[in-house]
Structure 1
Amino acid sequence: MEEKMAENHEINENKGEEISKSPEEDVEKEESTIEEEEIESPSQQLEKERDELLDKYLRALANYENLRKRMQQEKENIYNFGIARVFREVLPVIDDLGRAFDSLEKEDMENKHDGFIKGVRIIYSKLINILKNHLIEPYDSEGEKFDPSRHEAVHVVESDKEEGTILEEVEKGYIIKDKVLRPARVIVATSREELKETEDSEEKDNKIKEENKDN
């Protein structure tokens, strides 16, 4: 009977060892499985490298395109700035020629200096065409609502027209593409009350200036 009890005790110990070992074995098996899964095949590695290279290429292409657009925009800005600077100085000459022709038509003097007038008119037309070639065009202001971004008020006149209406264009405005090259100089309508407030304000400012001079 003692032998049988010894056998049972040995069997129980073996079972205990098996039970105690089984969780560790399971962990080892899981780790082995994970390692096998983490090991990539050559084709998977190639696909990964291809995707990385493609991503780098697309990023470089996008950066190049952004750089190209920025350089193109800067080039256009420099060109437009240069053109605007030159033509701002030319516009007063064109204005003078236009006013001269208007004056000659009013005084009916074209017939007296026919050849000379025709020659100057040709030059004037060529200058206007040069402006158009560089996308510089005049714009009309008379009858429009005063816009500080497009108009410069040189005088304010009491009128029965709606306040802020442009009554007269003293000097024509020009645009280059969609930007104002030179604002139009205009005379603007105002109400009696607004005019009085403006005059009172100007008078007050002048009085303050005189007082400051005396001090």
Structure 2
Amino acid sequence: MSDTSPTPEQQGAGAPEAATAPAASVEQQLAELQAKHTEVSDAYLRAKAEAENIRRRAEEEISKARKFAVESFAESLLPVRDSLEAAIATHAAQPDASAETVLEGVHATLRQLISALERNKVLEINPAAGEKFDPNVHQAISMVPADQEANTVVGVLQKGYLIAERVLRPALVTVAAPK
């Protein structure tokens, strides 16, 4: 049996040229990969910093929105307060003002209040008699015998209100009892 593997002398022949070419190529590849790694790392750090800045700005916006959410609503109620204060001042200056004049001022103030509420999407829930009872927006206080279909509104004890289509307060109603 003969050994066909190269001898150490045969291995050494031509080996330095072959070893230096791949070594130079490997070093070049390593340098390219390190440069690419540096570039990708830099891009990652920039993207991470940008994401953190966006998150921080969003948190600040949310905080401001919560803090000043009622600003518009409060601003629309200020004329109502002014009218009430003017009515009190008028009554103090003219205690003998007629009931008709006072009532006229109260109605004007109520119109201001209704307008302010509507501008801020606060809508009234005031079901008509005979309207079907809706537990989502009505709260039944009692069931009474009535000459109308069962489970319909007989009367409203207190109006309810929606704010942006969400129940702020349900309407308190009496409901027709089953016959």
On whether the aligned pair clears a TM of 0.5, the verdict is: yes
Q: Which residue is 2:124 aligned to?
A: 138
Residues of 1 paired with 2:49 and 2:126: CA distance?
48
Q: Which residue is 1:191 aligned to?
A: 178
Residues of 2 paired with 1:16 and 1:47: CA distance?
41
1:71 deviates by 4.1
Amino-acid identity (%): 20
Q: Which runs of 5+ in 1 are unaligned?
A: 1-11, 91-111, 193-215
Query: Aligned match of 1:151 in 115, 125, 138?
Result: 138
Residues of 1 paired with 2:138 and 2:127: CA distance?
8
Decide which structure has greater helix share.
1
Residues of 2 paired with 1:17 and 1:61: CA distance?
60
Residues of 2 paired with 1:144 and 1:71: CA distance?
45
Which residue type is aligned with residue 135 of structure 2?
A: D
So what's the TM-score if we normalise by structure 1?
Answer: 0.49
Residues of 2 paired with 1:182 and 1:79: CA distance?
23
Residue 155 of structure 1: SS of its match in structure 2? strand
1:161 deviates by 1.9
1:179 deviates by 2.9
Residue 167 of structure 2: SS of its match in structure 1? strand
Query: Aligned match of 1:166 in 127, 150, 153?
Result: 153
Equivalences for residues 66-215 of structure 1 within 5 A = 66-79=55-68, 113-142=99-128, 143-148=131-136, 150-159=137-146, 160-163=148-151, 165-192=152-179
User: What's the RMSD between the two structures over aligned residues?
Assistant: 4.2
Residues of 2 paired with 1:141 and 1:69: CA distance?
41
So what's the TM-score if we normalise by structure 2?
Answer: 0.56
Q: Which runs of 5+ in 2 are unaligned?
A: 81-97
User: Deviations along 1:72-112, whole A, 9 cap, x unmatched?
Assistant: 3344445558979xx9xx9xxxxxxxxxxxxxxxxxxxxx8
User: Deviations along 1:110-167, whole A, 9 cap, x unmatched?
Assistant: xx8443322221111122223234332223434244224x33221123454253x333
Q: Which residue is 1:212 aligned to?
A: none
Q: Which residue is 2:31 aligned to?
A: 40
In terms of Rg, which structure is larger? 1
Residues of 2 paired with 1:162 and 1:34: CA distance?
91
Tell me if the contact between 1:153 and 1:185 (Cα under 8 Å) persists in the aligned partners: yes
Residue 40 of structure 1: SS of its match in structure 2? helix
Comparing both chains, which one has the higher relative contact order based on Cα–Cα distances under 8 Å and sequence gaps of 6 or more?
Answer: 2
